[in-house]
Amino acid sequence: MPTGNNDPPAESQQPMPMILPGSSPGPTVEQPAKLIRIASMIRELLEDVRQSKPDEAGRKRLREVYVRALAALKEGVSKELQDELETLTLPLENTPSESEVRLAQAQLLGWLEGLFQGIQAALWTQHMQARAEIEEMRRRRGLPPPSGGEPGQYL
């Protein structure tokens, strides 16, 4: 008998990990949307810090946001990427200077952008491998290549 609950099972709500290039079970991104949101926030904060002169209270708050962003990022990636992030980021102590805040945020944003480029490279590599496999299957079966340009390309 229907219960009226249309929610999918809990296991289908779990994010699917994305394996990055260069390793099979290596680094994974478990929450890519979360990482993109955090990167956007850090980019905006960095731009705001560049355009303003935060006072002591503002710099303390930026340190808190930075620490929380690091913690949130670590939740969305594999242990291997957590360790990498840990080795590349420096802690902001007490009340950081304006330049320390800028450098920490820029460093974190650079790491995230590198991570996103790695994801794009992995997706492109997977696409090209799948395309080559399809072409190999077509060749083995004696099928002609698709008409109208590149295989798998749409108008």
pTM: 0.63
| 47-94 per-position pLDDT tens digit | 888 888 889 998 898 888 888 888 888 888 888 988 988 888 878 888
The residue among 31, 38, 35, 37 whose CA lies nearest residue 66 is 38
In this prediction, residue 150 has a pLDDT band, given cuts at 50, 70 and 90, of low
Residues forming a β-bridge with 28: 19
Residues forming a β-bridge with 150: none
pLDDT of residue 6: 47
Is pLDDT above 60 for 135? yes
48/52 Cα distance (integer angstroms): 6
pLDDT of residue 128: 92
Is pLDDT above 50 for 23? no
More confident residue, 155 or 101: 101
120/124 Cα distance (integer angstroms): 6
22/40 Cα distance (integer angstroms): 26
Is pLDDT above 60 for 111? yes
| pLDDT cut 70: percent of the chain above it | 77
Contact 111, 73 (CB under 8 A): no
Mean local confidence (pLDDT), 8-33: 55
